[in-house]
Structure 1
Amino acid sequence: MTVLLDADHLRTFAAIAETGSFTKAAEVVHKTQSAVSMQMKRLEDRVGRPLFARDGRASRLTPDGEKLLDYARRIVKLNLEAVSAFTDQTLSGRVCLGVPDDYADRYLPDIMARFSRTHPSVELTVVCEPSQRLNESIAAGAIDLAIITATDISNRNVQVIRRERLLWVGSLRHSAHLEEPTPLALGQPTCQWRDVAVAGLHKSKRGYRILYSSPNHGAVSAAVLAGLAISVVPESALRPGMRVLGAAEGFPPLPPCDIGLLRNPHEPSALAEALAHHIIQGLDNLTEADAAE
């Protein structure tokens, strides 16, 4: 007898895989946590294999779960396309997202892929600017959404959706961290990480000189990898060939990097909210364990 998989169960399964949590997936698919758990039990019964392995508070996929995930995403995508073909309520139009270039490199591929699958008729425009300019663009109503470095969490409009360690980095093959004064490669004077790095060095009374300055994260990373300077990056931006520097090398601890989402307060739209949902789904790492710490 042929086993047929329920598309709704597969949608829930994909949500758990993407959020890493039954609780967060329940919010995404608008079900209770018990309903999500029941759906996953039925799905495991259908395929005859365990799909999840507990990893602390997170839900990690088993090898069979990883195997099913690609099929689940394709089935759900086809299901959405089929429904869209027979409805006049499909969202269409244009939505504009602002994002710093380094966040664009790391986060946009996944966000764009998810959004395109569920909203194939929407034109997504992406503007790459530093966080300060994006904040100004949101205030002016020039863009719909922005992903920013959220140092000013007193701003009521910022929804902090991700937190990472901010790290001092140098090159694995060179020893710029031993030079005095320390050569630095940082963003422009408006860069918030630049302010944090300089303040930390001042406080620890370590000498420094800013050797390279660029609004482009790729250019800053190139100076680090070439062994010319030291910089600061969030943990997710570590590249092969980078060395993490800490107290043993004489570098002061840095505050965490908070990443936030800004919405246009003047013209909220269904399209912007749909994109915001995918951004939060893709970036959110503020688990209950993180909050407890």
Structure 2
Amino acid sequence: MLFSEEINTFLAVVRSGSLLQAAEIVSTTQSTVSYRIQSLERRIGHPLLRRSRGARGISLTSEGERFLDIAERWKMLEVEAEQLQANQVRHLAVGSVDAVAINVLPPFVAALCDETPPVRLHMESSRYFQLANRVASGHLDVAFTLTPSEHVDLVSGKIRDYPMLVVYSASGMAPLPEALDMTDLDPSREIHLPWSPQFDLWRVRRGFSRYVNWVEKAHMLAPMLRNGAWAIVPSFLTMPLAKETGCTIHRIALNPPDPLSLFMILRKQSSDATARQRQLIGMGLAALK
């Protein structure tokens, strides 16, 4: 008898090419991944993966290649079996990066919670690459990120762009103009957030220092935004920050960074079950317009 967790772990290893990344996909430890693969190989009676010291990545044996087709067909049957209940209970598993979950998605969630009958929601937040892996493995129906996924089994659709603006916490000096020249700001008081590789490249081209205050996630910004500190953020963050900190909001007059894009990540394959999920996603997205 084949166990679901062993097959799902095998597929995660094949898709990621790494025991460590597979452990993140199936939310377990690397040692547990190794144990499940070994258990599966004992059941099949053949080694499925090639492991060699110093080799980069993992490859399939000939038996592993044949078993991969069986595992993928088994996974599709499992998904279809799980969706039998969906005819009576509508459900949606949604992932998002923190800044979007807190500041963009509340209307999306509210719209689905107000449905009759209610939609059963599973919500989680994480880094964009972890969310993409969760969608690829079937643990999430959709993920909202600020970076598109390059996973071969996923498709990324842009939902909208958000202009990048300056939020500034006054320190008793004269008010700044609504449209700023970046020389109006003290570069030592910048708080940097790594919004995207394109944004980081823009900073380098504009000559901004690497030696500034730095925060990893947007919800950590507000306590530091004081006494002349400033940051460049997407427009969806400006009003919450202004309400919480009293900061002022400014455009960048010359050569601003490109807008930050919000992406929706979905699996490529389609079925009756995924069509129902995507209908729910469309209902939620309508509330964001």
Aligned residues of 1:201 and 1:252 also touching (Cα < 8 A): no
Residue 257 (structure 1) aligns with: 260
**How do 1:146-161 residues align onto structure 2 when only pairs under 5 Å count?**
146-150=143-147, 157-161=155-159
Aligned residues of 1:212 and 1:223 also touching (Cα < 8 A): no
Quote the RMSD (CA, aligned, Å). 3.4
Change over 3 Å in CA distance of 1:227–1:157 after alignment to 2: farther
Residue 224 (structure 2) aligns with: 223
Residue 244 (structure 1) aligns with: 249
Give secondary structure in 1 for the equivalent of 2:114.
helix
Residue 285 (structure 2) aligns with: 280
CA distance in 2, matches of 1:208, 1:246: 22
Shift of 1:94: 3.4
**Match for residue 201 of structure 2 among 186, 189, 199:** 199
Change over 3 Å in CA distance of 1:174–1:97 after alignment to 2: farther
Provide the identity percentage.
Answer: 16
Structure 1 letter corresponding to 2:259: P
Deviates more, 1:170-179 or 1:121-130: 170-179
Change over 3 Å in CA distance of 1:118–1:262 after alignment to 2: same
**Match for residue 130 of structure 2 among 120, 130, 133:** 133
Residue 171 (structure 1) aligns with: 169
Shift of 1:128: 1.1
Residue 107 (structure 1) aligns with: 104
**How do 1:89-100 residues align onto structure 2 when only pairs under 5 Å count?**
91-100=88-97
The total of aligned residue pairs comes to 188
CA distance in 1, matches of 2:149, 2:86: 38
Change over 3 Å in CA distance of 1:277–1:212 after alignment to 2: same
Deviations 1:203-222 (CA, angstroms, capped at 9, x unpaired): 1223342323223x211233
Q: TM-score if structure 2 supplies the norm length?
A: 0.54
Deviations 1:24-70 (CA, angstroms, capped at 9, x unpaired): xxxxxxxxxxxxxxxxxxxxxxxxxxxxxxxxxxxxxxxxxxxxxxx
Q: TM-score if structure 1 supplies the norm length?
A: 0.53
Change over 3 Å in CA distance of 1:209–1:196 after alignment to 2: farther
Shift of 1:150: 4.0
CA distance in 1, matches of 2:114, 2:100: 21
Structure 1 gaps of 5+ residues are 1-87, 285-293
Give secondary structure in 2 for the equivalent of 1:283.
coil
Structure 2 letter corresponding to 1:279: G
Aligned residues of 1:99 and 1:146 also touching (Cα < 8 A): yes
Aligned residues of 2:107 and 2:288 also touching (Cα < 8 A): no
Change over 3 Å in CA distance of 1:173–1:244 after alignment to 2: same
Aligned residues of 1:91 and 1:121 also touching (Cα < 8 A): no
Change over 3 Å in CA distance of 1:178–1:110 after alignment to 2: closer
Change over 3 Å in CA distance of 1:182–1:196 after alignment to 2: farther
Aligned residues of 1:182 and 1:208 also touching (Cα < 8 A): no
**Match for residue 120 of structure 1 among 94, 117, 122:** 117
CA distance in 1, matches of 2:206, 2:275: 48
Shift of 1:114: 1.5
Give secondary structure in 1 for the equivalent of 2:211.
strand
Whether 2:185 is the aligned partner of 1:184: answer no
Between structure 1 and structure 2, the one with the greater Rg is: 2
Deviations 1:155-182 (CA, angstroms, capped at 9, x unpaired): 8711212122122322244679743445
Change over 3 Å in CA distance of 1:273–1:152 after alignment to 2: closer
